[in-house]
Amino acid sequence: MSKSNVQSHGKDDALLISSIIAGNKSDFEHVWNRYNKQIYAYILKMVRNIDDADDILQDTFIKAYSAIHTYNQSYPFPAWLYKIASNTCIDYFRRKRIRPISLGGIQQMQSSIQDLLPDTTILADVSLSNAETKLQLYKAIDNLPDRYKETIQLRHFQELTYEEIAKKMNVPLGTVKITLFRARKMLLSQLSDIDMTLDI
């Protein structure tokens, strides 16, 4: 890629991010379309597991979506995304060390929702141990459009792989990934007003 093309691409990023920060949240899907393949390749090289890499990719972009207003536009946007991906991989390895061998669907969903929520510099994790919070989570899932709800349930409660979900729903693998991404964005929006019990 020529220097002029790189500069043009960077300008496109700046305009796109400014649009998202201004309130055009749907523009974030352009960020997904532009960067998901290269971020996925980086994550897969780190974790060497296809399904885990898919989940980490989703979590990376959800975190970026949540924290987009904190992005410093003097810093290269791809580097910012890679940093989020790197931190999410570190979280993945940390959970792998402490997670019990056998996990039920509810525990899996709790762990994934933790990843949906933006990290802060003060508190690393959010615990969904509170029964009322769990109820709010399940209500939020139930309020999703049917296609999104089914995809969330197949992934997090039935623990199907992305390929198995694609076969069951008779859709392309890429459709499963973007559907999960949109469903998780909707969950994040619904859960943003819920009081969380902080596990520190």
Reported as a single tens digit per residue, the pLDDT across 12-52 is 888 889 898 888 888 898 999 999 999 999 999 888 888 88
If you average pLDDT over residues 135-146, what whole number do you get? Answer: 83
If you average pLDDT over residues 188-198, what whole number do you get? Answer: 57
CATH, range 104-200: 1.10.10.10
Cα 5 to Cα 72: distance, rounded to the nearest angstrom: 22
Confidence of residue 131 (pLDDT cuts 50, 70, 90): low
Could you tell me which residues come within 8 angstroms of residue 92 by beta carbon, excluding any fewer than 6 positions away?
47, 52, 56
Tokens of 115: 């990843």
Check residue 130 and give its pLDDT: 52
1-98 against 104-200: fold identical: no
Cα 135 to Cα 43: distance, rounded to the nearest angstrom: 32
Can you name the residues that pair with 143 across neighbouring β-strands?
none
Check residue 142 and give its pLDDT: 85
In order of 60, 116, 157, 159, 184, the CA distances from 52 in angstroms are 12, 15, 16, 12, 16
Q: Which fold has domain 1-98?
A: Rna Polymerase Sigma Factor; Chain: A (1.10.1740)
Q: What pTM did the predictor assign?
A: 0.60
DSSP 195: P
Structural domain boundaries in the chain: 1-98, 104-200
Residue with tokens 């570190």: 90
Check residue 60 and give its pLDDT: 92
